[in-house]
Each structure stands twice: as C-alpha cells, then as structure tokens.
C-alpha cells in the first residue's frame, strides 16, 4: 500500500482521544504573569495539556495558547477563572472550525543508508523536511495539525525514533 493511501485510510479511522479545548489569552507581559496563570490551573485542578506563550502584535503583551483537557463545564470554568486574573486582558475559546491550529515537531529518526529512501518518501508525502542528516540518522521538522504530527511519528516508528520534541499547539481565530 502506498504511503498516501495509508494516510487517507488512517485519517478516516482515527477516533478522537479526549476532549481537548484550545484557549487563547492576551496577557500583560510582566514578571509573574505566567506563574499566576499556572498556579490558577494547579489550584483548580485543571488538566493542562500544553501551554505556549510568546510576544504578539501589541508591545508589552504576550499571546498564550492553552490546551485544556476536560468537558464543556471544565472549559467554561477555566475561561471564567482566567478572565478574573488581573494580567489577563482577553480570553477566547477557539473552536477548530473557526481557527488555524499548528504544532511544530522535531523528530530524530534512525536512517541507515539502506532505509533513507523509505524515510524520505514519508517525509516528502507529509510535507515535512529534513533539517539535519548524519551517517545513520536524520532530524525531521514538521509543522501541521497535531493529529498529522502524531501520524508522522507513528509512520517513522518502525525505523527507530530516537527523540521527539514538540512545541504544543498554537491556535489563532480566523474569519470564516
């Protein structure tokens, strides 16, 4: 079976794991802001799957993407609690159908010279790229939706994945 056909069939068969909700927040970029936010999650017992923070279009502010595990009531409570924090300017529950979501992964995989063509075919079909090549391994960079990142890692597993580094989700609301 070709790599492309395998991808298509697995995309249809993939069942959602747990309910994950993406929340973006605009926060004041001040000392202690991130600590207060994480402490809120710890105190309230929210299950935080990932957290990304970085500078944004407004000087003195950062934009965060948080991925929270839980049901709808957990999501509502989480958003309400975030809105109460003094450093938080704006909170948004970002739905999949109204956003762009991406995750970056770096994957180091064993790739003996005899297996490189197979690994490179997977890399090419998925739109990833090789960023480092050594005698018996290669490092691959891939940015896509998290389930596609999972797919790449699954497909590379038979060749010997040595290390995986993932950024976690970043999301941005877009106009329909």
User: What CATH number should be reported for the domain holding residue 68?
Assistant: 3.30.70.260
Please give the average per-residue pLDDT across 130-145, as a whole number: 96
As a whole-number percent, the residues of the chain with pLDDT over 90 amount to 80
Whether residue 114 sits in one domain with residue 86: no
Q: Based on the structure, what is the number of domains in the chain?
A: 2
Confidence label for 112 from pLDDT (cuts 50, 70 and 90)? confident
Q: What is the pLDDT of residues 33-67, one digit of tens each?
A: 999 999 999 999 999 999 999 999 999 999 999 99
* CATH number of the CATH domain containing 137: 3.30.70.1150
- Residue 126, in any domain of the structure: yes
Of 46, 71, 94, which residue sits at a domain end?
A: 94
- The pLDDT, as a whole number, for residue 1 is 43
Nearest residue to 51 (alpha-carbon basis) of 68, 65, 30, 61: 65
Q: Which domain holds residue 47?
A: 20-94
**CB neighbour list of residue 81: distance below 8 Å, 6 or more residues apart:** 40, 44
Please give the average per-residue pLDDT across 1-6, as a whole number: 48
Whether residue 107 sits in one domain with residue 80: no
- The pLDDT, as a whole number, for residue 15 is 45
Instruction: Report helix, strand or coil for 7.
Output: helix
Whether residue 83 sits in one domain with residue 107: no
- The pLDDT, as a whole number, for residue 27 is 96
DSSP code for 78: H
d(CA 163, CA 170): 21
- Residue 64, in any domain of the structure: yes
- The pLDDT, as a whole number, for residue 19 is 85
- Does the structure show a pLDDT above 80 at 150? yes
- Does the structure show a pLDDT above 50 at 157? yes
Q: Cβ–Cβ contacts within 10 Å for residue 130, how many?
A: 16
Whether residue 111 sits in one domain with residue 79: no
């Amino acid at each position: 079976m070709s790599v492309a056909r395998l991808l298509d069939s697995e995309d249809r068969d993939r069942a959602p794991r747990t309910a994950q909700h993406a929340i973006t927040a605009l926060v004041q970029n001040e000392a202690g802001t991130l600590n207060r936010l994480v402490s809120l999650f710890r105190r309230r017992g929210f299950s935080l799957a990932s957290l990304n923070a970085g500078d944004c279009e407004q000087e003195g502010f950062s934009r965060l993407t948080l991925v929270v595990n839980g049901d709808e009531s957990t999501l509502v409570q989480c958003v309400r609690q975030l809105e109460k924090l003094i450093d938080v300017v704006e909170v948004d529950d970002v739905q999949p159908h109204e956003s762009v979501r991406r995750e970056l992964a770096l994957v180091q995989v064993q790739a003996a010279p005899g297996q490189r063509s197979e690994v490179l075919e997977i890399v090419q079909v998925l739109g990833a790229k090789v960023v480092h090549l050594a005698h018996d391994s290669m490092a691959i960079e891939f940015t896509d939706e998290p389930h596609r990142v999972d797919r790449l890692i699954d497909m590379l597993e038979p060749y010997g994945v040595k290390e995986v580094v993932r950024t976690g989700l970043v999301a941005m609301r877009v106009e329909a």
